Amino acid sequence: MRLTLIFRETIVPPADARGKTYHSGSLDPYPRHHLMLQKLSEILALFSPQRPELSALEIAEQLGRPKSTVYRLLSSITANGFLDQDEDTSRYRVGIRLAGLGLLAQRSTTLQRALYPTLVRLSNLTGETATFMVRNGSIGSTVEMVESFQPLMVPGVLGGHPPLHASAGGKVLIAWMSPAMRRELLGARLERFTPTTITDHGRLNEELSRVQDRRVAVARGEWVSDVFGVAAPVWNHAAAVAAAITVGLPKARASAEQLDKVRQAVIQAASEASAAIGYSGIHP
What's the full length of the chain, in residues? 284
pLDDT of 56 > 60? The answer is: yes
Architecture of the domain delimited by 3-95 = Orthogonal Bundle (1.10)
Task: Give the integer Cα–Cα distance in Å for 249 and 246.
Answer: 10
The reported pLDDT for the residue numbered 116 is 87
Q: Is the pLDDT of residue 220 over 90?
A: yes
CATH class of the region 109-276: alpha beta
Q: How far, in Å, CA of 20 to CA of 14, rounded?
A: 8
pLDDT at residue 265 is higher than 60: yes
Confidence of residue 5 (pLDDT cuts 50, 70, 90): very low
Query: Is 46 within 8 Å of 59 (Cβ atoms)?
Result: yes
Tell me the H-state helices in 109-194: 110-126, 168-175, 179-186
Between 125 and 8, name the one with better pLDDT.
Answer: 125
Average pLDDT over residues 204-225: 94
- Using the Cα atoms of residue 191, residue 194, residue 197 and residue 199 in order, give the sign of their dihedral: positive
Can you tell me the distance from the alpha carbon of 158 to that of 83, in angstroms, rounded to the nearest whole number? 20
pLDDT at 4 over 50: no
- Checking if the pLDDT of 29 tops 60, the result is no
> What is the amino acid identity at position 234?
V
Q: Which residue has the higher pLDDT, 33 or 2?
A: 33
What value does the mean pLDDT of the chain take?
82
* Predicted local confidence at residue 39, as pLDDT: 84
Q: Which comes out higher in pLDDT, residue 32 or 189?
A: 189
pLDDT in tens, 136-186: 888 888 888 888 877 666 666 666 788 999 999 999 999 999 888 888 888
Q: What average pLDDT does the segment 65-70 reach?
A: 90
Q: What is the pLDDT of residue 21?
A: 42
pLDDT at residue 205 greater than cutoff 50: yes
Would you state the pLDDT for residue 23? 42
Mean pLDDT of 67-90: 90
Other Cβ atoms closer than 10 A to 3: 14
Residue 124 has pLDDT above 70, yes or no: yes
**Position 200 confidence tier, pLDDT thresholds 50, 70, 90:** very high
- In this prediction, residue 160 carries a pLDDT of 76
Domain ranges of the chain: 3-95, 109-276
The residues facing 131 across adjacent strands are 145, 246
